[in-house]
Amino acid sequence: MSGSRAGGEDVLALPGMPSAEPPPARPGPKQPKHNERLPAPSRSVAKVAVDVSLPHLDRPFDYRVPVQLDETAVVGARVRVRFAGRTVDGFVLDRTDTSDHDGRLGWLDKVVSPEPVLSPELATLCRTVADRYSGTLADVLRLAVPPRHARVEQETTPERPDEAGPDDEARDDPGWSAYPRGQAFLDALARRQGAHAVWQALPGEDWARRLAEAARAALSAGHGAVIVVPDRRDLDRLHAACVEVVGEHQVAALAADLGPAERYRRWLAVARGHRRLAVGTRAAAFAPVHDPGLLAIWDDGDDSHAEPRAPYPHARDVLLDRAHAAGAALLVAGTTRTAEAEVLVRTRWAHPVVAERATVRARAPRVTAIGEDDHQLLRDPTARAARVPGVAFEAARQALAAHRPVLVQVPRRGYLPAVACARCREPARCRHCHGPLGIPAGTRDTPSPPTCRWCGRPDTAYRCPACASPRLRATVVGSGRTSEELGRAFPQTVVRSSGGGSPILDTVPDGPALVVATPGAEPVADGGYGAALLLDGAALLARPELRAAEETVRRWFAAASLVRPAPDGGRVVVVAESSVAAVQALVRWDPAAHAGAELDARTELGLPPAVRMAALDGDPDALRGLLDVLRLPDTGEGEPEAEVLGPVELPPGTRLPGGDERTERAERCLVRVPRRAGRALAAALAAAVATRSARKETDPVRVLLDPQDPL
């Protein structure tokens, strides 16, 4: 035998000598031909959450991962798949080697982006929220993950910030020392302990800085933090405080009005770990902060925290579920306390963080109610009937004389938002759609005619259908008319409007001025207001809503907290009867006691949060169909544990989900169960909705778990 070596020299291959030729290469993985699909060599099955909101399809689906997409189809990536004959979006929830499906699997069509935007922790949270509110995972994912912006993903991101905070001097800020348990809560955050607290802020408290200091304690322990506020004004104030305390490179402010590119850019910075503190409005409760150590919500009683889209989660409950799953600290903060926060305190799941009574009295303004003493009524016998009684004028004059601004809170926007017949007091309604009539602002020479608040049609020839009288009287006075009347009463004083159709002011300068604002639009005064007039208290308390008293107390305390302390001459006049429990809570500055009494009353009446309740809204036929397939939870002994109340008619003009027009036939049923059966009720409702969906019953039924207003 012979062989050859380099250079052409022949050599003899002796027996037993190894051959100089290399051994044949082992066959590698088969390479796919053009348009040929071969499965990935490992973990070739992807579990995908498809973007389909049909309740009976609310589960992951298995797809085969082709070898071409093996590296990009990571867990959390956005993908496209074929589903029911069409291409839909989805997220990769997991990659496995096997599938429980016995049939042939479809292929993963495309990886839209390899960016892992849906982490396993966020996916678990979304699943928990969907189950809690009888919703679908696809609906919750639309709330949690913003739409993709391809150009933003390709941008170069800044380096991850240092673990330590930049503002070492601010660590000695004594703000939390005013609360006996305040420093202990910060110490628990710094030691990575999952402490839970309900914080009642003092009057005039710089709440934004206190929350920023709490976030700094969590960040110093190597954790992240999430803080949720009701609106953009609060977000701007909180963001400025966080930038000052922890540094701009640590904070990401998330809001819906940022625009798609900027919103996604900031969200990605949080998801990639480049920002460890996320602050924002209700959607920020889902912010993908790595290893959260603090989850906080400010003013949880504000209805802005309730999501108006299915499955209608509340930001407080989202953070509560997240704190359970992550072992993070939860802080429910506000100037008042809701009944839901009171449940956390009573069950000892959370500790109250409140100041001593002596500190509260030193920081609170003096509060005056109508009829609190006989001397007041002797001086002004019409005080109970007047909209702005003499004691309110006196407080305003004293504050203006001291060159301080006066806040006037008016609950309703507009000019005259509600009118009635001047003779028989019958509420005025539109002849076309039966909506309520109101009178918009006009001029002295050309007053505006009554106009429908639903369809906008003016009624220039209105006559009462009950007594044929053409005369109208105002039943509710709006902020516009109030500004006009106060301008005439104080002709030499500047009158500023905030909200109620006017631009919302963030701050007002110190000096004599009347500031007329609707609830939630009160600007902050430099140095604090000299006085605050809280008008139309009886109208607020008389609203036919479950949370009427709680919401009234929240609005009053929010405005009164902007007033100077009583030792500095600060004064609040609430135009409501002094014997009312909500008024007494303001006079004593004790919102916790009011929250306790509110919870006791709801427990006795069987109302949330003492029970779990579901509101079912829909067409009467659709509602009956849902109740027919609903299998309510029982006690385990065959006895029903749920109680069905209704149905009752909803107000005219109610919009149902999926409907383009208002319906006149909407009805509501309430289903009530004890708190221990809340999960079972949610599961039963989800199963009933899925059954209707599988039967292709298209008439919409809205399911709301723990609605803000079940009445």
Torsion sign over Cα 412, 416, 422, 424: negative
Confidence of residue 326 (pLDDT cuts 50, 70, 90): very high
What CA–CA distance (Å, rounded) separates 577 from 635?
Answer: 45
Convert the pLDDT of each residue in 344-386 to its tens digit.
Answer: 999 999 999 999 999 999 999 999 998 776 566 667 676 677 7
120: left (phi over 0), alpha (psi -120 to 50) or beta: alpha
The span from the first CA to the last CA of the chain, in angstroms, equals 101
What is the per-residue pLDDT for 683? 95
Asked whether the predicted pLDDT for residue 17 surpasses 60, the reply is no
Name, of 444-448, 695-699, 701-705, the range with top average pLDDT: 701-705
Convert the pLDDT of each residue in 210-241 to its tens digit.
Answer: 999 999 999 999 999 999 999 999 999 999 99
What CA–CA distance (Å, rounded) separates 208 from 296?
Answer: 11
Q: Which neighbouring-strand residues pair with 474?
A: 419
Backbone angles phi, psi at 602, to 5 degrees: -70, -35
**Three-state secondary-structure class, residue 684:** helix
Q: Are 557 and 434 in contact (CB under 8 A)?
A: no
**Who wins on pLDDT, 676 or 173?**
676
**Who wins on pLDDT, 537 or 372?**
537
What does the DSSP 8-state code read for residue 467? T
Q: Which neighbouring-strand residues pair with 306?
A: 314
Q: Are 502 and 469 in contact (CB under 8 A)?
A: no
- 3-state DSSP helix/strand/coil % of the chain, to nearest 5: 35, 25, 45
Confidence of residue 460 (pLDDT cuts 50, 70, 90): confident
What is the per-residue pLDDT for 535? 94
Greatest CA separation found in the chain? 132
**Which residues are within 8 A (CB) of 398 and not within 5 positions of it... i.e. 6 or more apart?**
530, 531, 569, 571
Convert the pLDDT of each residue in 404-439 to its tens digit.
Answer: 999 999 988 888 888 889 888 888 988 888 888 888
What CA–CA distance (Å, rounded) separates 535 from 522?
Answer: 14
**Could you give the residue ranges of the DSSP H alpha helices within 350-450?**
357-363, 374-379, 390-401
Q: Are 224 and 250 in contact (CB under 8 A)?
A: no
Asked whether the predicted pLDDT for residue 31 surpasses 80, the reply is no
Q: Are 51 and 84 in contact (CB under 8 A)?
A: no
What is the per-residue pLDDT for 9? 40
What is the per-residue pLDDT for 661? 45
Q: Are 498 and 517 in contact (CB under 8 A)?
A: yes
Torsion sign over Cα 552, 597, 234, 355: positive
The encoded tokens of residue 579 equal 């014997």
Q: Which residue's entry shows tokens 């039943």? A: 475
Q: Are 441 and 483 in contact (CB under 8 A)?
A: no
Convert the pLDDT of each residue in 645-692 to its tens digit.
Answer: 989 988 766 676 654 444 557 899 999 999 999 999 999 999 999 999
213: left (phi over 0), alpha (psi -120 to 50) or beta: alpha
What CA–CA distance (Å, rounded) separates 546 from 301?
Answer: 13
What is the per-residue pLDDT for 556? 97
Asked whether the predicted pLDDT for residue 192 surpasses 80, the reply is yes
Q: Are 537 and 548 in contact (CB under 8 A)?
A: no
Q: Which residue's entry shows tokens 């579920």? A: 321
Convert the pLDDT of each residue in 363-373 to its tens digit.
Answer: 999 999 987 76
> Cβ of 461: how many Cβ atoms within 10 Å?
9
Convert the pLDDT of each residue in 126-158 to its tens digit.
Answer: 999 999 999 999 999 999 999 999 999 988 665
The encoded tokens of residue 455 equal 């369809």
- How much of the chain exceeds pLDDT 90, in percent? 66
Q: What is the pLDDT of the chain when averaged over all its residues?
A: 88
Query: What's the chain's Rg over C-alpha atoms?
Result: 32
Convert the pLDDT of each residue in 65-108 to its tens digit.
Answer: 999 999 999 999 999 999 989 999 999 999 999 999 888 999 99
Q: Which neighbouring-strand residues pair with 611?
A: 674
